[in-house]
């Protein structure tokens, strides 16, 4: 679309937001953008409508069709209401659980949604205050709801907010529901949205739900006797201003841990995240205060959760006495290794167990599962796909854990999304288990590499914001799809998986075969003869294109860990340069 045509389309859309149906503040904001000679903000606010990606609806807060505000949230809620009423027409009452995080406007969006559901005759179960995403997922199943929503932008910067929709099994919506709900939302006019449904259809959820949830979390423990012996581990926990502030310490205490040390400045609940630039436990800067506290008290373990407490960040002391963040792949490895090892020790394996990982996550998870006769499923990025595998195997096979590289893990299926509340408690138990064997958490991780093989993972992303950025990301994907590299890191390319066509091609033999996935996804994977895996995908929730690197290495002793890691880092840097990412 030419710039003049784009601007004309955007201005026409924006002028519709000057109608009396919109509140004064919104109209004032739109008028300001229209009158501004620089049309960049106007275009970014109106050039498209917010769409559901891997994490639902997410965007910068403000006026406009491409922004998070009560009208885009209202349209999403009205569209979801219409869809629920058609899908559950025979039910005497439709129920929806509603939660929210600490972000600015989160309570407003949650209360507005509750009013809209009520206006549609749908029972809204609204949490009294901010709560973790996993607790909302739990509440859907606990209270027999047909759907649920959580108002959160997860780990995004403070300018963002989001809206994640869930189905009756407690998982985020997948096809065909997500596509059909989007269609419904696109038909909604502002005058069809009523925000003032009857209060008697809104029920407030409080401490009674917390207690039920924590009781379930307590059941995740596999080695209560070890926790009892090492209950006084020095555990530092920070919610980074978010929803984990009460329930994560409560979960740790329910497991039996007694020495939980907080970072007081980050216990302050705030959508402005005053102590960090980004409230993301993947970012070293977000962990600085907790790590400083760890050095101060000589902590055994440091953990953090993102604003909606679905992602867990883990810090432990390495063999040089330095506190380091272990990445999401390593966190998942520790969980899967521990769960399988302890279940075998306890004699609780029945032979029908399975674990799930995402396609961009480390292949060592699959190696651990296979060597222990546990079935492994590979799914697209997003826990809704992990939950879908659980749903497909309900009553037939036994889920024992699933995770992804982006700091998410789900240790039990009473929640059907990333669950940092349960994961924090279980990671503390793993640390206690390692200590019972005379090891640190870091040494336990090294031992996993020694037993199952060494690999190193790294993620690189390229940010391209706005309408122009989205086009550039698409062009990058087309370039890699049409002209894949012939060699990476000195090793010839062996296989290419294209999840958009669902075809895997062996470049050596020329053989092609179908990829076993229900749906397509805009993801490419390159595999070299040396065992390197590179995954390329645009983010479903952020203006990014992501590159995931995993390289294999040799490790024969703990003493060789630093050298193996350095060699792997060097290889990854070489491949980044070859792909033109070193300057991005």
Q: Of 433, 450, 459, which is closest to residue 328 (Cα–Cα)?
A: 459
> What pLDDT score was predicted for residue 109?
98
Phi, psi of 553 (to 5 degrees): -150, 175
Please, which pLDDT band fits residue 540 given cuts at 50, 70 and 90? low
Q: What is the mean pLDDT of residues 149-172?
A: 95
Q: How far apart are CA 257 and CA 426, in angstroms?
A: 11
pLDDT score of 380 more than 90: yes
Encode 501-559 in three state secondary structure.
CCEEEECCCCCEEECCCCCCCCCEEEEECCCCEEEEEECCCCCEEEEEEEEEECCCCHH
Q: How many CB atoms lie within 10 A of CB 338?
A: 22
Q: How far apart are CA 205 and CA 452, in angstroms?
A: 45
Please, which pLDDT band fits residue 472 given cuts at 50, 70 and 90? confident
Please, which pLDDT band fits residue 178 given cuts at 50, 70 and 90? confident
> What pLDDT score was predicted for residue 183?
87
> What pLDDT score was predicted for residue 1?
47
Q: How many CB atoms lie within 10 A of CB 396?
A: 8
What are 13-29's pLDDT values in tens digits? 999 999 999 999 999 99
> What pLDDT score was predicted for residue 57?
85
Q: What is the mean pLDDT of residues 407-434?
A: 98
Global pTM reads 0.94
Q: What is the mean pLDDT of residues 96-108?
A: 98
> What pLDDT score was predicted for residue 175?
85
> What pLDDT score was predicted for residue 25?
96
Q: What is the mean pLDDT of residues 267-287?
A: 96
Sheet holding 353-358, edge to edge: 375-379, 353-358, 398-404, 408-410
Question: DSSP class of residue 14?
Answer: H
pLDDT score of 448 more than 70: yes
Length of the chain in terms of residues written: 584
What are 494-537's pLDDT values in tens digits? 999 999 999 999 999 999 999 999 999 999 999 999 999 999 99
- Considering only CA atoms, give the Rg of the chain: 24
pLDDT score of 583 more than 80: no
Please report the domains of the chain, with CATH numbers, ordered by start residue. Answer: 1-47 (no CATH), 50-205 (3.40.120.10), 213-452 (3.40.120.10), 456-578 (3.30.310)
> What pLDDT score was predicted for residue 541?
64
Counting residues of the chain whose pLDDT is more than 70, the rounded percentage is 98
> What pLDDT score was predicted for residue 547?
95
Please, which pLDDT band fits residue 106 given cuts at 50, 70 and 90? very high
pLDDT score of 52 more than 70: no
pLDDT score of 140 more than 60: yes
Please, which pLDDT band fits residue 2 given cuts at 50, 70 and 90? low
Q: Which residue has the higher pLDDT, 543 or 270?
A: 270
Q: What is the mean pLDDT of residues 121-135?
A: 98
Catalytic sites, residue numbers: 154
Average pLDDT, the chain: 95
Mention every residue, 6+ apart, whose C-beta is less than 8 A from residue 559. none
């Amino acid at each position: 679309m030419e710039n003049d045509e784009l601007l004309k389309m955007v201005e026409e859309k924006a002028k519709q937001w000057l109608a009396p149906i919109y509140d004064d503040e919104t109209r004032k904001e739109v008028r300001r953008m229209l009158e501004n000679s620089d049309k960049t903000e106007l275009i970014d606010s109106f050039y498209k409508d917010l769409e559901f990606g891997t994490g639902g609806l997410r965007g910068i807060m403000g006026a406009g069709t491409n922004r998070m505000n009560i009208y885009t949230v209202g349209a999403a809620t009205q569209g979801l209401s219409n869809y629920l009423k058609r899908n559950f027409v025979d039910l005497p009452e439709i129920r929806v659980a509603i939660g929210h995080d600490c972000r600015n406007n989160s309570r407003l969006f949650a209360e507005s949604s509750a009013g809209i559901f009520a206006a549609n005759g749908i029972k809204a179960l609204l949490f009294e205050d901010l709560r973790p995403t996993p607790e909302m997922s739990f509440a859907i199943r606990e209270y027999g709801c047909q759907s649920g929503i959580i108002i959160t932008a997860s780990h995004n910067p403070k300018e963002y907010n989001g809206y994640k929709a869930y189905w009756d099994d407690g998982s985020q919506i997948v096809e065909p529901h997500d596509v059909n709900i989007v269609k419904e939302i696109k038909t909604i006019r502002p005058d069809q949205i009523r925000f003032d449904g009857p209060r008697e259809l809104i029920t407030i959820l409080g401490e009674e739900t917390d207690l039920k949830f924590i009781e379930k979390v307590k059941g995740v423990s596999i080695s209560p006797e070890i926790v009892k012996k090492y209950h006084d581990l020095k555990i530092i926990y920070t919610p980074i201003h978010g929803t984990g502030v009460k329930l994560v310490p409560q979960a740790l205490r329910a497991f039996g841990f007694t020495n939980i040390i907080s970072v007081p400045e980050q216990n302050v609940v705030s959508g402005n995240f005053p102590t960090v630039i980004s409230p993301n436990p993947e970012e070293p800067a977000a962990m600085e205060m907790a790590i400083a506290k760890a050095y101060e008290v000589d902590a055994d373990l440091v953990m953090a959760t993102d604003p909606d407490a679905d992602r867990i960040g883990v810090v432990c002391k390495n063999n040089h006495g330095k506190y380091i963040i272990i990445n999401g792949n390593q966190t998942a490895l520790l969980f899967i290794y521990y769960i399988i090892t302890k279940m075998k020790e306890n004699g609780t394996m029945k032979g029908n167990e399975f674990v799930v990982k995402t396609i961009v996550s480390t292949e060592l998870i699959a190696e651990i599962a296979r060597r222990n006769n546990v079935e492994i499923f590979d799914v697209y990025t997003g826990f809704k796909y992990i939950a879908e595998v659980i749903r497909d195997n309900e009553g037939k096979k036994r889920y024992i854990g699933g995770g992804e590289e982006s700091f998410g893990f789900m240790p039990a299926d009473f929640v059907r999304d990333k669950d940092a509340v349960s994961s924090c408690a279980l990671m503390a138990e793993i640390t206690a288990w390692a200590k019972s064997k005379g090891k640190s958490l870091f040494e336990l991780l090294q031992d996993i590499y020694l037993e199952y093989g060494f690999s190193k993972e790294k993620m690189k992303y390229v940010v391209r914001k706005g309408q122009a950025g989205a086009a550039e990301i698409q062009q990058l994907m087309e370039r890699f799809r049409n002209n894949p590299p012939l060699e990476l890191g000195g090793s010839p390319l062996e296989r290419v998986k294209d999840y958009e066509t669902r075809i895997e091609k062996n470049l050596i033999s020329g053989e092609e075969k179908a990829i076993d996935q229900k749906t397509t996804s805009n993801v490419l994977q390159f595999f070299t003869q040396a065992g390197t895996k590179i995954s390329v995908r645009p983010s479903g929730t952020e203006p990014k294109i992501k590159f995931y690197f995993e390289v294999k290495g040799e490790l024969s002793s703990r003493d060789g860990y630093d050298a193996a890691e350095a060699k792997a880092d060097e290889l990854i840097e070489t491949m980044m340069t070859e792909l033109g990412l070193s300057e991005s």
